[in-house]
Amino acid sequence: MKLSHKFLAAFCSSLALTGCMKVLDKTDLSSTSGALIFNDSTLTQMNLDYIYDQNLPAGIPTLGPGTPSVTSLTDESYGESKLLEGTLLVNEVGDFGTKLDAANNYGKIRVINMFLSDVNGGSLPRLTKNKLRAQAQFFRAWRYFDLVRLYGGVPMVLTPLAAVGVEARDQAFLPRNTTSESFALIVKDLDSTIASVPGKWASTNDWGRITKGSAAAFKGRVLLTAASPQFNPTDDVTKWQASYDANKQAYDLLTANGYGLNSSFDQLWFQEVNNPEAVLITGYNTSSADQARKNNGYDNATRPSYTGTSGGSNQPSWEMVKAFPMLDGKKPGESTKYTYTDQSFYKNRDPRFDKTIAYNGATWPMNGNNTYKLWTYFAGGKTVEPKATNTGFYARKAVNPAPAISEVQYSGTDWIEIRFAEVLLNLAESAVGVNKLDEAYTQLKAVRKRAGIEAGTDNMYGLKANMTRAELFSAILYERQIEFAFEGKRFWDLRRWKLIEKTLNGTKRTGVTINLKTTGVPADFATTRDNVSLDKAYTDYFTVTFKQLDTKYSINWKPEYYFFAIPQQAIDNNPKLIQNTTWGGAFDPLN
């Protein structure tokens, strides 16, 4: 592998590493050989860090280039989409590699395969090579899982293919591996990672590197997907057993290395090094001194636009708002202790509600103001916000309250892709799959206890006792909906459980408009409202009305979207690719 002069120079100058000078002094930097680079630990590490940078998730995902955030494809938020309209065409989920592009999945896999090959040929000690290769193999597994959950089995390219020439082109015409083969190779890569990386890195400078626990947790996610109805329509218990074993391994490795639930559901996002809940993270920073600034765009994009420089992109639907349990853990309308009404939707809710949903009148510390109150109501038909939220709500999860407006765009908050809470709920779901129902209850109660839900006299945290297997599966999916709201998990959960039609079809997602009444409101309400109790304001001064957010169509997700079509451009480029049976081809993605 060769690195360009610019690439090496950028790394050397930004990291100020003397190792660059040691290796490249008096060397022609325009044509640096792979052997020279991969005989040097510093330059090899730079190449691995590039793989980290290119492959770590950057917040809520999409389905590939040109597709919307997955949050907008569920009842969590809203957004117009051909997937929900039911008009998706064969080429429109196209992150398959339809052209030479370093940014698509196969482009990134090529870089990883070249790294794995070149490191193996270098002269570094075998244990060092194994540790470096193991981290790259994690990301190859990451990329392939992204493809398999979209399309089913794909060509599993495990070595760098030659780039030019007719013979090289013909060798690159590879058929699709079966879906089961694809999952097996993903797991093989992750097993190699688990075997060769530490349970915890010794230096805080290595915070965010792949550990045994993060690789095992991702393996658990992969095999849970393989056991779910999308890939396991016959409920094959051996797939559930594989999922259970993987998630139990993840739990054991993580707890042995000091991981666990953070004591705070909302503040866990702002503790970085040694955060016990942060299993797999994308690190961000605001430093411009000794490294390139790398900003987390989620924060600035999520908060109200007038409190940052963009904003308002993750707006909760009314369906998401109403989904949260009451303080006793029962669903709205099912609790006998806490009465629910739409007019006072904010009262006596699961504590995660106030830490996830920002609503009219909520105290929402931000921009350094710990007593800031958010007002989203309309007065005389006009919004009191500089720019109104379309749904009536904002997401507040992982939005840092400290930075001033001018600094919001430079957020350094780490994105936590896998939290320990997910490991617990993955283990719970897998346990239900193998009929270990008591174990599922244990993990569910741990998550609810941390949330602050009342234990109740039965110490069940609002959970129904003696649930059936089917009821527990539903309870876990419900818990995931609440716990992981606006973390990009809801779409994949509904899809792997093939519940999108049941949950969304025939519906239009809903928002609220809160209006200030025209009579009985103090003339100085606009200046005194922060001092009025929320209950009085909602009882005496506000009306809550509902509006449809989806205005063009009722949602019409189609069954064939559970495995997307291989883009026709990819098939035209590779005649050995076969289209999925659900899109008119002969490839069965369930094999």
pLDDT attached to residue 7: 38
| b/e sequence 331-361, b meaning 16+ C-beta within 10 Å | ebeebeebebeeeebbbbbbbbbbbbbbbbb
Q: Mean pLDDT throughout 404-424?
A: 92
Question: What's domain 203-208+223-283+414-484's architecture?
Answer: Alpha Horseshoe (1.25)
pLDDT attached to residue 311: 86
Return d(Cα 521, Cα 509) in angstroms, integer: 31
pLDDT attached to residue 161: 83
**Which strand (E) or helix (H) includes residue 416?**
strand 415-419
pLDDT attached to residue 288: 57
Q: Which two tokens stand for residue 471?
A: 């009821």
Is 442 a residue whose pLDDT tops 90? yes
pLDDT tens, residue by residue, 85-96:
999 999 888 777
Is 235 a residue whose pLDDT tops 70? yes
pLDDT tens, residue by residue, 270-293:
998 889 999 999 999 876 555 567
Is 266 a residue whose pLDDT tops 90? yes
Closest to 38 measured CA to CA, from 109, 135, 128: 128
Q: Which residue has the higher pLDDT, 491 or 67?
A: 491
Q: How confident is the model at residue 198 (pLDDT cuts 50, 70, 90)?
A: very high
Pair 421, 261: CB distance under 8 Å: yes
Burial of 442 (0-12, 13-18, 19+ CB in 10 A): middle
State percent of the chain over pLDDT 70.
91
Is 418 a residue whose pLDDT tops 50? yes
Which residues are paired to 548 by β-bridges?
A: 510
Domains of the chain, by residue range, sit at: 203-208+223-283+414-484, 308-412+510-548
Burial of 531 (0-12, 13-18, 19+ CB in 10 A): exposed
Pair 516, 377: CB distance under 8 Å: yes
pTM exceeds 0.85 for this model: yes
| Average pLDDT score over the chain | 91
Q: Mean pLDDT throughout 424-428?
A: 98
Return d(Cα 321, Cα 342) in angstroms, integer: 10
Return d(Cα 373, Cα 120) in angstroms, integer: 57
Is 563 a residue whose pLDDT tops 60? yes
**Contacting residues for 267 by C-beta, under 8 A, at least 6 apart:** none
Angle at 569 between CA 568 and CA 573, to 5 degrees: 115
Q: Which two tokens stand for residue 17?
A: 């590493």
End-to-end CA distance of the chain: 36
Q: Which residue has the higher pLDDT, 28 or 519?
A: 519
pLDDT attached to residue 100: 66
